[in-house]
Amino acid sequence: MVKAEEFVDELKKNKLGPIFEVPCSIFKDLINFLLDKKKMEVVNPANEAIAMANSAGEYMATGKIPIVMMQNSGLNNTLNALSSLNKQYGIPAVYLISWRGELKDAPEHNFMGSYLEKILDVYQVPSKVLTDKFASEIEWATSLTKQLSHPTALIMRKGFIDKYTKEEKAESGYEMDRWKAIETIVDNAGDAAYVSTNGFPSRHLHNILKAKDKDDGRAFTMVGSMGHALGIGIGAARKVSNKIVVIDGDGGALMHLGSLAGLKEYKPENLTYIILDNRAYGSTGTQPTQSHKINFNKIGEGFNCNSYSVTTREELVMAMKESLEKGPSLIHVKINQDEIAKDDPRMARVGYSCKEVRERFEKYLDRFKE
């Protein structure tokens, strides 16, 4: 394994940066080091395509080659910018891509894990997998992106960076953690169907429904496609009479915020959109999002939603009651960053395949189709 400081020193030696990053658990130790020690500027755009755009502007303003860091699934979000911005205008960058799914992993990583290198080849992005010769590999990527005037890629395997424990403590201060907030939602949502964002929110929802004997297919628990929970929810809500509750995180909400336009356009009165905001990407190691500067309540009002901002269980219960009477509604819930230990039974993965989740959800919705 390579120490984060050694790796960052090589990036600096090659005059690379800033780093525009959307987190991945493989990058957790590297990002924690960067945030603690501030040896390089780190920018955290809402999604990978925005990272490409930001980095392009940075290059044109400074002439300095940026790093765009992302999980390999996020590479797909960048391909339009890669082909129609970077390649068309001759804008260099160095991709730093995590290799989820190279070995046994969660199911959403299987495809990209198998085809990552082939996709880079198709898009004519020269790439190398990082090894103990990382210094020469970073130099290779830097030199070649200058020569080609379009991106090159470095691929990072799991365990490449040595463990690094961040110095600051997790933020607390709010009454509810994610588990308590979702439990409160379930207790007050009646027979609503759910769409829950990827990562810990879907795990928590699955285990809460199971514990309350409500594991009957009413939850579409996402394991990938981050940022699309609301879009899925709107699509379903337009065609069924049942209440649809979408449970998102702040990172997911910001990733594709334009989905909110569908609430104003279609006005689904049976939809409640809940953003659980802990100001962090909880599932990848609590790296910060941009949500601490965002007023979701006003955003909801701007899209003609009944809009609520809550911090306590009592406030959430009241907001749920009112929002389910008539929507569309947006409930912004500020929660703390207290995470359940990963070996806790409440963190168990969803016990169904993705196809089974879809089939069970469709069967549950059948009884409410208009």
pLDDT in tens, 194-228: 999 999 999 999 999 999 999 999 999 999 899 99
| Structural element, H or E, at residue 276 | strand 271-277
Res 172: pLDDT = 65
Angstrom distance (rounded) from CA 339 to CA 109: 23
3-state SS track over 204-222:
HHHHHHHHCCCCCCCEEEC
User: Over 60: is that where the pLDDT of 170 sits?
Assistant: no
User: Over 80: is that where the pLDDT of 104 sits?
Assistant: no
Q: How many CB atoms lie within 10 A of CB 12?
A: 12
Percent of the chain with pLDDT over 70: 98
Q: Which domains does the chain have, with CATH numbers?
A: 4-156 (3.40.50.970), 178-366 (3.40.50.970)
Angstrom distance (rounded) from CA 163 to CA 144: 30
List the one residue out of 228, 263, 193, 223 whose CA is nearest residue 100. 223
Average pLDDT over residues 6-18: 98
What DSSP letter does each residue of 45-72 carry, written as one string?
-SSHHHHHHHHHHHHHHH-PPPEEEEEH
Angstrom distance (rounded) from CA 200 to CA 149: 39
User: Over 90: is that where the pLDDT of 354 sits?
Assistant: yes
Helices (H), ranges, the chain: 4-13, 28-37, 48-62, 72-81, 87-89, 110-122, 134-148, 178-187, 200-211, 229-237, 250-255, 261-266, 296-302, 313-325, 354-366
Residues in the chain: 370
Chain segment 250-308, per-residue pLDDT in tens:
999 999 999 999 998 999 999 999 999 999 888 887 888 889 889 999 999 999 999 99
Tell me the pLDDT band of 370, cut-offs 50, 70 and 90. Answer: low
313 three-state secondary structure: helix
Tell me the pLDDT band of 168, cut-offs 50, 70 and 90. Answer: low
Percent of the chain with pLDDT over 90: 84
Q: How many CB atoms lie within 10 A of CB 52?
A: 27
Angstrom distance (rounded) from CA 265 to CA 255: 20
- Mean pLDDT over all residues of the chain? 94
